[in-house]
Amino acid sequence: MTLSLFDQFASPALLGIPLIAIALTFPWILLPSSTSRWLDNRLSTLQSWFLVRFTHQLLQPLNFGGHKWALVLTSLMVYIITLNLLGLLPYTFTPTTQLAMNLGLAVPLWLATVVLGLRNNPTNALGHLLPHATPTVLIPALIIIETISLFIRPLALGVRLTANLTAGHLLMQLIATAVFVLTSLMPPVAMITSVVLLLLTLLEMAVAMIQAYVFVLLLSLYLQENI
Amino acid sequence: MPTSPVKVRIPLTSFGHLITEVKKQLFGLEGPAAVKLTGLRKYFNSYTIQGRRNCVLATYSVIAVTAVAYFMHRQTKKEAQRDSTD
C-alpha cells in the first residue's frame, strides 16, 4: 500500500479496531504514580521534584483562588508533553496533531476562565475589554477589537499546537525520505541531509516540550486576568 | 546593549494593554482622578474600572439594538413584499 505524507496523521486502527483510546491513555500507563512509601525510587522522586517546581513556577503569578487550578494545569502539561514526545518515536501516532483534540482541550478551559471571571468579578472581566486611558474616539473600536481577540484565543491555542506539531512531523518525514532516496544516489549529500535530520529531530524535541508549556502558560495567563 | 525603558512586565495577552503600559511608562500618562469626572464622564470613561465596564456594556447594547432593529426591519419588508404580490 502506497502511503502519502499525511497518512501518519490518520487515526490509528488495527484490523478495523480503532486504537485511539490506547493512544490517548498511554501516558497514564507510562508515568509512575506516587506510592505510600516514605522514600520513592529515583524516577518517582525526579518526577515529583519536577511537578512541584513546575506547579510553583506556574502558579506564582496567580492569587489564592487560582491555586485550585494547580491539578488541572499541571496534569494537562504532563499529558501534552508526554503525547508530544512519544509522537517523535517512529511510526507513532501523535494525538496532538489532531485539531479536534487540541480544540477539545483549549475551548472548554478557555471558556471556564471566561465564565469564572464573569461570575466572580464581572466588573473586572468586562472592564478588561477596554484598555485603561483609551482616547474617547477609539473606545467602540477597541472594545470590538478586544472582543474579537478574546474569541480568537481558544482557536489560536488549539491551532498553534496542531500546526507546530504537524509541520514538524511533516518536515521530518520529508527530510528522512530525502536521506533515504539520496543514500544510493549521492551518499555525501545524504550524509549532510542526515545531519540536518538529526538537528531537526533535536529541534522537534524542544518544540514538543515548549509547545506544551506555552499551551498551559497561556491558559494560566487567561486565568490570571479573570480570577 | 541598550535596554528597554519599559520597566514593568507587560502582559502579552492583549494588544491594548501593551499600548497602555508602554504609554504609561514612557510618557507618564496619568488619568484624571475619579472625583474630577463629572456628568456623563463620571459613568462612561476609560480610567476607572466601572467606567470601562459601562462603556463595554453600552457598546454591546448599541450593537444588539442595531442588530434587532435590522432583522425586524428585514422581516417587515419581506411581509410587505409578500402582501404586495398577493
A168 CB-near residues (< 8 Å, 6+ apart): A200, A203, A204, A207, A208
pTM: 0.83
Whether B15 sits inside 8 A of A133 (CB atoms) is: no
Any CB–CB contact under 8 A between A218 and chain B?
yes
Any CB–CB contact under 8 A between B11 and chain A?
yes
Percent pLDDT > 70 in chain A is: 99
Whether B53 sits inside 8 A of A149 (CB atoms) is: no
Q: Distance between CA A44 and CA A34 in Å, rounded?
A: 7
Confidence grade of residue B28 (pLDDT, cut at 50, 70, 90)? low
Give the nearest partner residue to A143 out of B15, B50, B56, using CB atoms.
Answer: B56
Lowest mean pLDDT among A47-51, A132-136, A197-201: A132-136
Q: Distance between CA A223 and CA A111 in Å, rounded?
A: 10
Any CB–CB contact under 8 A between A151 and chain B?
no
pLDDT value of position B60: 96
What is the pLDDT averaged over residues A59-75?
92
pLDDT at B29 over 60: no
Q: Distance between CA A157 and CA A76 in Å, rounded?
A: 13
Give the nearest partner residue to A222 out of B13, B46, B60, using CB atoms.
Answer: B13
pLDDT value of position B8: 59
Any CB–CB contact under 8 A between A25 and chain B?
no
Domain ranges of chain A: 18-25+43-226
Most confident of A5-9, A35-39, A69-73, B76-80: A69-73
pLDDT value of position B6: 59
pLDDT at A175 over 60: yes
pLDDT value of position B31: 56
- B10 to chain A: nearest residue by CA? A221
As given in the structure block, the three cell numbers for residue A184 are 544510493
Residue B60 distance to chain A (closest CA, Å)? 9
pLDDT value of position A227: 86
Where do runs of H (alpha helix) occur along chain B?
Answer: 15-27, 49-85
Give the nearest partner residue to A133 out of B31, B55, B60, using CB atoms.
Answer: B31
Q: What is the 3-state secondary structure (H, E, C) of A54-103?
A: HHHHHHCCCCHHHHHHHHHHHHHHHHHHHHHHHCCCCCCCCHHHCHHHHH
CB–CB of A20/A95 below 8 Å? yes
B60 CB-near residues (< 8 Å, 6+ apart): A143
